Amino acid sequence: MLRIAYMRTLSFFYSLGDLFSKTIPIIKVEPEDLFQGHKEALFFSCGAYSVTCVVKTARTIAFKPLAVYYLLLSYGSKIMTTQTKKTTLASAMPDVQAADDYRQIAIDKVGVKDITYPISLHCPATGNVQHTVAKVNMYVSLPHDQKGTHMSRFLEVLNKHREQIRSDQIMSICADIRDRLEAPEAHLQLTFPYFIHKKAPVTQSPGMLDIQVTFDATAGDKNEFIMSVKVPGKSLCPCSKEISAYGAHNQRCEIEARVRFTAGKMMWIEELFDIVEKAASSPVFSVLKRPDEKWVTETAFDNPKFVEDIVRDLAIMLDNEDRICWYQITSENFESIHNHNAYAYIEKDKDECCE
Amino acid sequence: MLRIAYMRTLSFFYSLGDLFSKTIPIIKVEPEDLFQGHKEALFFSCGAYSVTCVVKTARTIAFKPLAVYYLLLSYGSKIMTTQTKKTTLASAMPDVQAADDYRQIAIDKVGVKDITYPISLHCPATGNVQHTVAKVNMYVSLPHDQKGTHMSRFLEVLNKHREQIRSDQIMSICADIRDRLEAPEAHLQLTFPYFIHKKAPVTQSPGMLDIQVTFDATAGDKNEFIMSVKVPGKSLCPCSKEISAYGAHNQRCEIEARVRFTAGKMMWIEELFDIVEKAASSPVFSVLKRPDEKWVTETAFDNPKFVEDIVRDLAIMLDNEDRICWYQITSENFESIHNHNAYAYIEKDKDECCE
Amino acid sequence: MLRIAYMRTLSFFYSLGDLFSKTIPIIKVEPEDLFQGHKEALFFSCGAYSVTCVVKTARTIAFKPLAVYYLLLSYGSKIMTTQTKKTTLASAMPDVQAADDYRQIAIDKVGVKDITYPISLHCPATGNVQHTVAKVNMYVSLPHDQKGTHMSRFLEVLNKHREQIRSDQIMSICADIRDRLEAPEAHLQLTFPYFIHKKAPVTQSPGMLDIQVTFDATAGDKNEFIMSVKVPGKSLCPCSKEISAYGAHNQRCEIEARVRFTAGKMMWIEELFDIVEKAASSPVFSVLKRPDEKWVTETAFDNPKFVEDIVRDLAIMLDNEDRICWYQITSENFESIHNHNAYAYIEKDKDECCE
Amino acid sequence: MLRIAYMRTLSFFYSLGDLFSKTIPIIKVEPEDLFQGHKEALFFSCGAYSVTCVVKTARTIAFKPLAVYYLLLSYGSKIMTTQTKKTTLASAMPDVQAADDYRQIAIDKVGVKDITYPISLHCPATGNVQHTVAKVNMYVSLPHDQKGTHMSRFLEVLNKHREQIRSDQIMSICADIRDRLEAPEAHLQLTFPYFIHKKAPVTQSPGMLDIQVTFDATAGDKNEFIMSVKVPGKSLCPCSKEISAYGAHNQRCEIEARVRFTAGKMMWIEELFDIVEKAASSPVFSVLKRPDEKWVTETAFDNPKFVEDIVRDLAIMLDNEDRICWYQITSENFESIHNHNAYAYIEKDKDECCE
């Protein structure tokens, strides 16, 4: 079977471009002859000098003749070295991503993933700025007839906004991606450590607790913003406490709440954090002096919780928060009696869901 | 505020148990009287010996008086040491997880996560057995009125089946979890490296390629089985090839297909792998001699693909596979010109979806 | 076997403390009676109203009678509830870590690991400040006769310095840890993403490349500072290029240099980065327009390198840099033709090694 | 500056090969003309029909003229297309890795990293076979005058032995790598989950605990075998227990022992595991019924340990084990009161160290 890969044929084109520059006229193109009726092949005219052009093969890509320079040429059996030719064509570098696609398959998300980037978060409520480092994913939807997206533009948008990230304006950055990429829909995901200034419970020693925050925005026909906080806590097992003569197994746990806000409403990271942290048997801290450690130990013992209790108690708190219209919550407890974890998950969509 | 944690109150009960053992008569207990609809803390007096009982607090749990032994007692101001008392009650160890829950919050998934477990996969089609090590998650749904699930039973079910995992019988294991845990719905997720025996393309040198396979089963009102394969491949950039005088940037990529099968149909892991691997610019291998390396290099160069092309070509192949009724596909390309990745994603639900 | 755990005995003491507060006279304590001559129990003198007792078992801890409150007592067979009693003793909370240890085993490193912390890096040469987030480990050595270290102090030192991290003053922070923890030797390890402002090679589009930097300092009899940079690059295989008709497999690689500086000399992160990046077939960038992508593709193709070449070329460059007296260098190439990586490693200690 | 990359010049050679096949006489070659006296270019003699030329630049590689086909030639300014020409040379595919290297830099380790591979472990003592999946690294040292190693051979050796891994014969596999790669020294590192069959402490319910085992072998002038086990356990804080009215914070910990054996002696994985597990406050299990959970909770509470105590107690046990001549031990405790970990480390080289 004759299979001419798309990029090869484009390379042929450059030879053609070279021919053109020598003003060789192309009278006619007979695609049918060339591809012997292969249904996926498209052909352009070209004449006297036996110019033949193939645009598409089974595994590759149709190409629109955006200009005469995009023609593809087999010049008899002679193949010029592509190296020197291409250099002369640098100014006419083809925009492969902007070409048409023939496969009729739209892509839900395409873009860049796992970018490590420094950002500055501004909190309009407090005026505070926090510098942190985010993992960033940026995607757009791609209509069925478009070959590819322009990956470098994502980074340009990110660079433009990175000093001014605000949770209440994340949608406008996402809209900027959509506009810059000329896409129907854009997605922006930022995941970063965020630092909560917390004093130890008794000695009031200052410290910072790192939580993981995610902003997940979609701009398109439907706009959506999901904020997520992943908060470390301490869980203490009620069963262990109950059945044991003394003590109770306890462990670090990680409680996550992903929430959507009711239309027109918002919460700051700290506000959501405050709720989530309450679901644990005890909060955790970065600096604990002995009286603080005593407090944490006793607080957890007084407040035993199964992983089920953590998500249920959190669900009740989020049910009571009318700024939140939808949530997904999980707790993963790094069981200190096993080498595996306990896990629970609840999702709820309140009816008055956000637009 | 009076806050008596649930487990404390159970501990009080043990004091009560002690009292019983001393044959102190408790004249009568009327649980209904006791709770009198008080929405948080409930107290009930009982008789001559000043029995006081707290059942529930804001952060903890109501307890049904399943038996007289479950009563809670504050015996005046005197508190016995719980240590020696509890020992005598070992045979009456309370089943905390089996208790009722008052919060009216059902839990979508609760169970064990991140278990590392050796499994044996059997392929009835070939008779082959493959030994590997899985990461296992096992969850059940929990009705609103049940306090907790029994975590140890998950492991027992896993242990029972681990030597006989078959992709076409994964649903029956999942059903076994549901039965053993007495739950409306059960989830079983197994993720493991799976080894494909592949010969090098020219020298036919034998080797094994590791792919990542996931079985994701749900048994309940709705039964569902999703098989996923994550396959390494090589992608070569069409744009780079086109615009450069020579060479083209290429890189390892990871292509994933998650699929649901049409009712009554199935594919083996190898069959799905074969399809997914074709979506790359070139397959990859574990052992390559020089003629093989030449083949891989040239095959990729002849077959350039954007991340968009990979998912589109895979989508077409899966569209043509009538054993598959739904799929989610992604490709993540570890771009060799950046320190971040390119990514594309397509989801499709064919209409004739599985039961 | 009678095994009285250290902490149990201290708990008995609290009952004793309670007795004291009620001024109940203790006529006499007979430790021999109490411990029934168990050979692992050691006892100290006890006066009429002040009993002193240290109990040691094979697996637990000797205790110095720091004060009368540290006495240990079993008051007959009666055990008071410890809960309310202990509260009154909060001000006399024992400093368990400060106690003696009897096992005669010194500990090389003990401390806190995997702290996520925001830091500000100052570069005195340029005046620039870069905000980033570090993973921090902080350890001290512990002499054989000391029970434990004081974990919270590590965090206090970190908090004090985090806004003013300078690579040329990291040793003084490390010395501060040693002083604050009163230890013979201290270790400070900071690992963080660091962002290099790089323009694209042709279009000069601005972008930031994330590299991973580690500062690894030891302060003690021997002072030592190791700086490490882990730099992404692109490697292109010479063998593939040579044997193939066209193209060559290439991939992202990660090149790391860990270096010690000659006494009295230093390099900035950017200076070390500049050297390491040159070892790749081509540098990588975050923003590349098409002419830049062409440049990267062709540069790598013109400059093929095995993983062996990368570390050798880097070794030559570091040999020629007299500010560096020792290095460990690695390259890990994420081979695009395999699902495993190529790796090379060289270590060299130049003679004029740092103090 | 004129910079002629090594691979470019080899490509020129193929044109020459083509000329030879057409028996075109080459009368004379003037390297000086070709390279214009660039001082880094070296040239060899060239007879009437056999031109030999090696070109070396700062960043690339000298080449020995292994055969006439390895000649390098710039044939005036004319460059043939390399594509079709190379195909005719496939049988004379150059062995680039076997070439000489001019940089005079020996490489400590070069090879393959992060191979995922199924292995079968045999225990001669028990006759048991355990199937698991290893992460494998395989390296050799490379003398200063050798260009590269042969990566595919590592996989061939691995494939040959993978069904018959025995801890007491790991050195012979390592020696096989050294022989097959013709290297002075070889390294083999296998890291894998290993499953310990453990019954629950009270109910004797069967279960499997996954530990992480590493075999790290070096064969060369010095032979060395390090076995490592990483064992999950439970640690309970003595300070928290002491200062708190009730309860004590506890958490999962991971205790690692890396050991070298005394010459002529060995331990099985299970034997080393048994020692390491004893260092925790309590062992952990995969299946625990309620009486077992009570046992674990109380055992840990009776046996509180700082991270310092864990490594010290383990050090004492390893000191007493005369089959072990060297060890490195660590414990990392995933503190349930913090979002960071506690860590301790001891290394000891007993004098009678292994050869």
Q: How far is A178 from chain D (nearest CA, A)?
A: 37
Residue showing tokens 């004759």: A2
Q: Do A239 and B97 touch (CB under 8 A)?
A: yes
Confidence of residue D127 (pLDDT cuts 50, 70, 90): confident
Give the nearest chain D residue to B212 (CA atoms). Answer: D116
Q: Does C329 touch chain D (CB under 8 A)?
A: no
Confidence of residue A124 (pLDDT cuts 50, 70, 90): confident
Report the pLDDT averaged over residues B9-29: 31
Q: Over the stretch B192-245, which tens digit does the pLDDT of each residue have?
A: 999 999 999 999 999 999 999 999 999 999 899 999 999 999 999 999 998 999
Q: In percent, how much of chain D has pLDDT > 70?
A: 71
Handedness of CA D26, D27, D29, D33 (dihedral sign): negative
Q: How far is A125 from chain B (nearest CA, A)?
A: 30
d(CA C278, CA A339): 44
Q: Which of A234, A245, A247 sits opposite D248 (nearest CB)?
A: A247
Q: How far is A124 from chain B (nearest CA, A)?
A: 31
Q: Does B83 touch chain A (CB under 8 A)?
A: yes
Q: Do B249 and C296 touch (CB under 8 A)?
A: yes
Alpha carbon dihedral A97, A103, A106, A109, in 10-degree steps, equals -50
d(CA A232, CA A276): 9
Q: How many CA atoms lie within 13 A of C44 on its CB side?
A: 18
Q: Does A195 touch chain C (CB under 8 A)?
A: yes
Q: Do B206 and D152 touch (CB under 8 A)?
A: no
d(CA B90, CA B94): 9
Report the pLDDT averaged over residues B119-135: 91
Q: For residue C262, what is the DSSP state?
A: P
Give phi and psi for D123, each to the nearest 5. -110, 105
Least confident of A67-81, D116-130, D298-312: A67-81
Contact D165, D157 (CB under 8 A): no
Q: Over the stretch D255-297, which tens digit does the pLDDT of each residue have?
A: 999 999 999 999 999 999 999 999 999 999 999 999 999 999 9
Task: State yes or no: ipTM above 0.90.
Answer: no
Q: What is the CATH number of domain C107-349?
A: 3.10.270.10
> What type of residue sits at position D34?
L
Please tell me which chains touch C, using 3 or more CB pairs under 8 Å as the contact test: A, B, D
Q: Is the pLDDT of residue D325 over 90?
A: yes
Question: pTM for the complete prediction?
Answer: 0.80
Between C319 and D80, whose confidence is greater? C319
d(CA A188, CA A214): 10
CATH among 3.40.50.300, 3.40.50.1370, 3.10.270.10, 2.10.69.10 for B223-355:
3.10.270.10
Residues in chain A, total: 355
Q: Which residues of C touch B78 (CB under 8 A)?
A: none
Q: Is the pLDDT of residue D209 over 80?
A: yes
Confidence at residue B99, expressed as pLDDT on a 0 to 100 scale: 66
Q: How far is B301 from chain C (nearest CA, A)?
A: 6
Q: Which residues of D touch C347 (CB under 8 A)?
A: 108
Q: Which residues of B touch D120 (CB under 8 A)?
A: 131
Q: For residue A146, what is the DSSP state?
A: B
Q: Does A252 touch chain D (CB under 8 A)?
A: yes
Report the pLDDT averaged over residues B26-40: 31
Q: Which of A284, A294, A334 sits opposite D243 (nearest CB)?
A: A294
Q: Which residues of C touch D94 (CB under 8 A)?
A: 242-243
Q: How many CA atoms lie within 13 A of A152 on its CB side?
A: 20
Q: Which residues of C touch A115 (CB under 8 A)?
A: 286
Between B55 and A100, whose confidence is greater? A100
Q: Do B234 and C244 touch (CB under 8 A)?
A: no
Contact C285, C208 (CB under 8 A): no
Q: Over the stretch B81-110, which tens digit does the pLDDT of each residue have?
A: 222 222 222 234 556 676 677 788 999 999
Confidence at residue C101, expressed as pLDDT on a 0 to 100 scale: 79
Cβ–Cβ pairs < 8 A, chains A and B: 192
Longest dimension (CA), chain B: 99
Q: How far is D321 from chain B (nearest CA, A)?
A: 30
Q: Do A337 and D294 touch (CB under 8 A)?
A: no
Q: What is the CATH number of domain B104-194?
A: 3.10.270.10
Confidence at residue B96, expressed as pLDDT on a 0 to 100 scale: 67
Most confidently modeled of A66-80, A338-352, D14-28?
A338-352
Residue showing tokens 């992604």: B330
Q: Over the stretch D95-105, which tens digit does the pLDDT of each residue have?
A: 667 667 778 89
Give phi and psi for D270, each to the nearest 5. -60, -35
d(CA A111, CA B348): 19
Confidence of residue C108 (pLDDT cuts 50, 70, 90): very high
Q: Over the stretch A276-313, which tens digit does the pLDDT of each residue have?
A: 999 999 999 999 999 999 999 999 999 999 999 999 99
Report the pLDDT averaged over residues B76-85: 27
Confidence at residue B126, expressed as pLDDT on a 0 to 100 scale: 81
Q: How far is D293 from chain A (nearest CA, A)?
A: 6
Confidence at residue B164, expressed as pLDDT on a 0 to 100 scale: 87
Handedness of CA C287, C292, C295, C297 (dihedral sign): positive
Identify the helix (H) or strand (E) that includes residue C188.
strand C186-199
Tokens of C31: 């430790």
Report the pLDDT averaged over residues B78-82: 27
Give the nearest chain A residue to B117 (CA atoms). Answer: A340
Q: Which residues of D touch A15 (CB under 8 A)?
A: none
Enumerate the domain spans of chain B: 6-94, 104-194, 223-355
Give the nearest chain D residue to C247 (CA atoms). Answer: D83
> What type of residue sits at position B60?
T
Confidence at residue C124, expressed as pLDDT on a 0 to 100 scale: 82
Give phi and psi for B310, each to the nearest 5. -60, -50
Instruction: State the pairing for strand pair B224-236/C186-199.
Output: unpaired
Confidence at residue A149, expressed as pLDDT on a 0 to 100 scale: 92
Give the nearest chain C residue to B248 (CA atoms). Answer: C297
Q: Which of C4, C7, C84 is the mutation pick for testing D, counting most D CBs within 10 A?
A: C7
Q: Do D107 and C313 touch (CB under 8 A)?
A: no
At residue C266, the 3 state secondary structure works out as coil
Assigned fold of D96-193:
Urate Oxidase (3.10.270)
Q: How far is A298 from chain C (nearest CA, A)?
A: 10
What is the average pLDDT value for chain B, to the nearest integer?
A: 77
Residues in Cβ contact with D150 at an 8 Å cutoff, skipping those fewer than 6 apart: D97, D98, D181
